[in-house]
Amino acid sequence: MNPPVSKAREARLEFYRKKGKVHAKAVQGRFNGLRWAMVWLTQIVFYGACWLPWTTAAGRRQAILFDIVDEKLYLFDLVLWPQDALMLAFILILAATALFFTTAMAGRLFCGFACPQTVYTSIFVWIEGKVEGDHLARLRLDQSPMSARKLLIKSVKHGIWALVAAWTAITFVGYFTPIRELLPAIAGFQTGPWETFWLIFYATFTYLQAGLAREAVCQHMCPYSRFQGVMIDPDTANVSYDSRRGEPRGALRQSTNKGDCIDCGICVQVCPTGIDIRDGLQYQCINCGLCIDGCDEVMDRIGAPRGLIRFTSERELAGRPQAATARWRPRTLVYVGLLLVFTALGLWTLNERVLLRVEVHRDRGALMQESTAGRIENNYILKLINMEEAARHFRIGVSGLPGLRIEGTSEFMVGPGRVRTVTLTLSSPLEGMPSGVQPIVFETVALHDQSLAVREKSTFILPTH
Ligand code: SF4
Ligand code: SF4
């Protein structure tokens, strides 16, 4: 049971709780440092990776590019085609399993440190702090009537937000259209319709989500917060208040018979989602650990041990013994097993990948025809997909019927990362042949490397006797 709190103290706490926009107090500490390290890391990668050039046999290109027009995903030396959808499925399964694993181990760790919503909100709030001042100055400004000063300060803040949102949108689209081509196109108002749409959409989305909606997304919109409950258990380490140690809470001077919580409200003031962790585990908590930093600072000042708020499990908080193997329980072991299996499957698929695909289609125009030489001919359309970033020569052979051969050339050059469609005529002698639809095989081999070969089944139609 929490002790009664004085009216003045409660009013002070209410000032910071769920009353409109949250203006969290800045705090220093381990978790704040980690949070900003993640902001720097993710943003250096995001804003920087699209500028990396990459040189291949086919020339220079952007190292990471989702080329929608050519339906290819470039990741340094790796080029994924629509035919490699299985690889993308493995990557998605791995990401989902890693999220489940992290949640089972330490709750919404992803939300607190790596979620784009958290990262961009941190950046936008940092800008707000630089322009408007600390959390109290921001609160006062919000509550003050409109004036020329307020209008100027708000305009500067929103202007900087708009610039950051615009650059974020340009960077995002720069992963789909080479960024070195995109910038001049934007400068000359020559972007295509889909680029224009995504630039406007992504800039608006960033501005609204990180600048205006911010913690409301974590509090009310995030679906992950709603189903995290099924992914955690009593052994999951979450940011928690140790009420056995903290209660009864009260001011330091009040009594001797009280817990370590001095009811200063710092943990509420620093919380970016505006909740009071002392009320217990709440779905709005993003496990950012800022209340730990705030409370540790208070504990240092009053000479009490740190950790009144800490990452700990429900079992440990209840004073029940926690097995040394609690971290590696069946749930987490299953996730680790799945991570290993899908990583191995992904690597194996990547290793076994043949950089040549061939699609064989029968010419639907005519089933068969007889040549002047008395042979039966069937026509085919072959799609040769060269998935290497170098031009390759391929030789096509056929088998399955005695005397079956290709009329005309059977060697073709395909450009780097290109698809070439060729028309082939196959002919077969009539004498002594079976009748009707007969199975045949096309074998396509790269001249530079005989191991680069693909066999595709098809059929050859002969007259019925
Ligand atoms: S910061 Fe620590 S001491 Fe202060 S109210 Fe929160 S839990 Fe209590
Ligand atoms: S309660 Fe603590 S860990 Fe949870 S969101 Fe607030 S500051 Fe972060």
Q: Would the CB of 239 count as within 6 Å of ligand 1?
A: no
Distance 302 CA to ligand 2 centre (A): 22
Q: How far apart are CA 215 and CA 164, in angstroms?
A: 19
Q: Would the CB of 376 count as within 6 Å of ligand 1?
A: no
* Containing structural domain, residue 207: 23-80+115-213
Mutate to test the pocket of ligand 2, among 287, 298, 312 (most ligand atoms within 8 A of CB): 287
- Please report which ligand is nearest the Cα atom of 113: 2
pLDDT digits (tens, 9 = 90+) for 416-445: 989 999 999 999 998 888 889 999 999 999
Give just the sign of the alpha carbon dihedral 433, 434, 437, 442.
negative
How many other β-carbons are positioned within 10 Å of the β-carbon of residue 274? 21
Last residue of a domain, one of 304, 322, 353: 353
Residue 280: which of 235, 255, 246, 252 has the closest Cα? 246
pLDDT (0 to 100) of residue 325: 67
Side chain identity at residue 156, one-letter code: V
pLDDT (0 to 100) of residue 257: 78
pLDDT (0 to 100) of residue 430: 87
pLDDT at 271 over 90: yes
**Residue 93 lies inside a defined structural domain of this protein:** no
Per the structure, the count of domains in the chain is 3
Last residue of a domain, one of 293, 321, 353: 353
Classify burial at 50, counting beta carbons within 10 Å of its beta carbon; exposed 0-12, middle 13-18, buried 19 or more.
Answer: buried
pLDDT digits (tens, 9 = 90+) for 175-229: 999 999 999 999 999 999 999 999 999 999 999 999 999 888 888 888 888 777 7
- More confidently predicted of 322 and 310: 310
How many other β-carbons are positioned within 10 Å of the β-carbon of residue 357? 17
Query: Is 203 in the same domain as 67?
Result: yes
At 124, the pLDDT band (50, 70, 90 cuts) reads very high
Q: Do 441 and 455 meet the contact criterion of CB atoms below 8 Å apart?
A: yes
pLDDT at 3 over 50: no
Query: Is 246 in the same domain as 339?
Result: yes
Query: Is 170 in the same domain as 244?
Result: no
Indicate which residue's Cα is closest to atom 4 of ligand 1: 264
Segment 28-41 shows an average pLDDT of 96
Give just the sign of the alpha carbon dihedral 236, 240, 242, 248.
negative
Q: Which atom of ligand 2 is nearest to the CA of 277?
A: 1
Query: Is 279 in the same domain as 345?
Result: yes
Distance 99 CA to ligand 2 centre (A): 19
pLDDT (0 to 100) of residue 126: 96
Q: Do 368 and 463 meet the contact criterion of CB atoms below 8 Å apart?
A: yes
CATH number at residue 406: 2.60.40.10
Query: Is 57 in the same domain as 174?
Result: yes
pLDDT at 13 over 70: no
- Percent pLDDT > 70 in the chain is 94
pLDDT (0 to 100) of residue 10: 54
Q: How far apart are CA 358 and CA 442, in angstroms?
A: 9
pLDDT at 275 over 60: yes
Query: Is 306 in the same domain as 403?
Result: no
pLDDT at 14 over 80: no
